């Protein structure tokens, strides 16, 4: 399963790229606003250091406006993936952009029916928001399982990109179900490293080694 980093903070991206575990980046208007940077300059800076897909979201809601913004954003670099909302207009734009071999990430997906339409529109990625469904008392991972099953039945090329992950268990569950990608904020990636038994075991090993009085160097 690929891991995308969900941030527009270039410094955070640079640090986490050193792990070799980051396959791409997703941004949205909220993350761009949080970064305090110009959207075009920020996306360009991310593309300079990231080889994988970089999602940049349009802010227009009409077809003409979305297409115009998509032209500007896609001109930044070949890895720019245009992010459109899962609306009728968004799917029309998705169909047109995919016909031009421009990668498209259809976002704000909350049902399997929506995901089916996105795949038929030629989406490169579908982004179901599991955390927001969990917040409402639903099980977001059930949606991921349904979408993966439907896509497998019909050999859709659209990749399932799990979004709005809230904790490390979402990562494990997504991998078990067979999702193609998960996008994570840096905080959750940091949590994935941690386990109390790992810390306890390392402390014991180091204490035992200290008692030997030896040095490897």
Q: What is the pLDDT of residue 163?
A: 98
Of the candidates 135, 160, 158, the residue with the CA atom closest to the CA atom of residue 146:
160
Q: Which residue has the tokens 């929506």?
A: 114
| Cα(133)–Cα(191) distance, integer angstroms | 22
Structure tokens at 43: 């996306």
Q: What is the pLDDT of residue 15?
A: 96
Does residue 39 lie in a domain region?
Answer: yes
| Cα(155)–Cα(122) distance, integer angstroms | 12
pTM beyond 0.85: yes
Does residue 125 lie in a domain region?
Answer: yes
Q: What is the pLDDT of residue 189?
A: 96
Q: What is the pLDDT of residue 76?
A: 98
Q: How many domains, in total, are found in the chain?
A: 1
Structure tokens at 7: 């941030």
| Cα(142)–Cα(139) distance, integer angstroms | 6
| Cα(50)–Cα(207) distance, integer angstroms | 40
Does residue 43 lie in a domain region?
Answer: yes
What CATH number corresponds to the domain at position 160?
Answer: 3.20.20.70
Q: What is the pLDDT of residue 195?
A: 96
Q: What is the pLDDT of residue 8?
A: 97
Of the candidates 198, 181, 211, 216, the residue with the CA atom closest to the CA atom of residue 6:
181
Q: What is the pLDDT of residue 28?
A: 95
Does residue 217 lie in a domain region?
Answer: no
Q: What is the pLDDT of residue 197?
A: 98
Does residue 159 lie in a domain region?
Answer: yes
Q: Hey, which residues are catalytic here? A: 83
| Beta pairing partners, 126 | 106, 160
* CB-CB contact of 115 with 126 (8 Å): yes
Q: What is the pLDDT of residue 139?
A: 96
Does residue 13 lie in a domain region?
Answer: yes
Q: Which residues does the chain have with pLDDT short of 50?
A: none
Burial class (CB within 10 angstroms; exposed 0-12, middle 13-18, buried 19+) of 170: buried
Q: What is the pLDDT of residue 88?
A: 98
Domain residues for the domain of 131 are: 2-212
Q: What is the pLDDT of residue 124?
A: 98
């Amino acid at each position: 399963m690929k891991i995308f980093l969900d941030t527009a903070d270039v410094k955070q991206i640079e640090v986490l790229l050193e792990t070799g575990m980051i396959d791409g980046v997703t941004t949205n208007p909220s993350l761009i606003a949080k970064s305090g940077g110009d959207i075009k300059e920020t996306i360009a800076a991310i593309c300079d250091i990231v080889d994988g897909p970089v999602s940049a979201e349009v802010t227009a809601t009409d077809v003409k406006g979305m297409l115009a913004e998509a032209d500007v954003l896609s001109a930044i670099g070949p890895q720019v993936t245009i992010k459109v909302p899962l609306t009728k207009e968004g799917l029309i734009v998705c169909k047109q952009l995919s016909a031009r071999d421009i990668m498209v990430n259809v976002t704000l997906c909350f049902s399997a029916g929506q995901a089916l339409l996105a795949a038929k529109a030629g989406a490169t990625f579908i982004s179901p928001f599991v955390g927001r469904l969990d917040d409402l008392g639903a099980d977001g991972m059930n949606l991921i399982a349904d979408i993966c099953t439907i896509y497998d039945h019909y050999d859709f090329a659209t990749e399932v990109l799990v979004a709005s992950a809230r904790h490390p268990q979402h990562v494990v569950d997504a991998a078990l179900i067979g999702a193609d990608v998960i996008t994570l904020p840096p905080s959750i990636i940091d949590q994935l490293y941690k386990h109390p038994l790992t810390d306890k075991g390392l402390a014991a090993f180091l204490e035992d080694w200290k008692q030997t009085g030896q040095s490897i160097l």
